[in-house]
Amino acid sequence: MSGGTGPADGGAGPADGGAETVRGAAGGTGPVRGGGTETSRGGARDDRPRSVTVRVPAKVNVRLAVGAARPDGFHDLANVFLAVSLYDEVTATPAEALTVTCEGPDADKVPLDRTNLAARAAELLAARHGVAPDVRLHIAKDIPVAGGMAGGSADGAGALLACDALWGLNTPRAELLDICAELGSDVPFSLVGGAALGTGRGEKLTELPVGGAFHWVFAVADGGLSTPVVFGEFDRLTEGTDVPEPAASPALLEALRTGDTAALAGALANDLQAPALSLRPSLAATLAAGTDAGALAALVSGSGPTTAFLVKDAESAKAVAAALTASGTCRTARTATSPAAGATILPD
């Protein structure tokens, strides 16, 4: 969750340089996981993999406290991230030049030029090591696009890890996290996963203990919301007021530590919910539909427009998802659990 500026996750942008959108994996267009080795032009055996696929999770902000706008336009945050089991997969394959392709729901809304965080990740990593960013990055989308669940940030973290492995760079984790922070405020957490408190713009992470699994339903709305626009609306709504310094709730941190679903439900909060509802009033009906169906708590996920519903268990998740879908207040509803692992290289 960026502190107010920069491209929104998954926002649209022009394609360039031969990039393409691939829709529908039935024809065998999905990511290739094959490892193995190749023979270089000089005949020497190259032990680097032919491709690397990384799976990376979505996130929900169980507490998003927002401070007043800073002189640089960003906002200080106290952002409690929780990774959830909705995933994108990013596959890196050697190529003659940097290209990005994408398949999956709303793939046509994903930028395929160098504004895509996956492409930027490859360029930044290559620049640090003095190599050419010649790679094809294929994104298999399952995280809602521009939905407040860090889908674009996930792709940036996934591409960074995939390229590091593909190019055999063995970049230290601390340096990877530095590159993530340069890419955007949510990207470091996409690499780390689990649960963490993000401060500063959200990029300074302290990992948090979680004592059990939590069950969620996510209602996916039509269209997206721009993160900078939502922060701008926050500034408008709080203009002339004394915005408190952002802080994480001790009760919420304790609920995570103990795995107490009921306590977590009572502590969920998002300072961007009011501006998101101001920009998209129809989300109020979605929140009401989920709570009427039995969700323990509901909130806008990050900057929205995806809405998140904490439920008691897997059976409750199915019932709430079905009710949300039938309500006509959202495009679709997805179930997930948390915490989830961060960016992970998949086996061959």
Active site residues: 59, 186
53: Cβ contacts below 8 Å, ≥ 6 apart: 31, 32, 33, 89, 90, 91, 92, 162, 345, 346
Structure tokens at 271: 């300072």
Where b means 16+ CB within 10 Å and e means fewer, 11-41 reads bbeebeeebebbeeeeeeebbebebeeeeee
The CA distance from 104 to 109, in Å, is 10
Torsion of CA 99, 104, 110, 112, to 10 degrees: 10
Torsion of CA 331, 333, 338, 340, to 10 degrees: -60
Residue with tokens 């030049």: 97
Helix (H) or strand (E) holding 204: strand 204-207
Closest to 273 (Cα-Cα) out of 81, 63, 72: 63
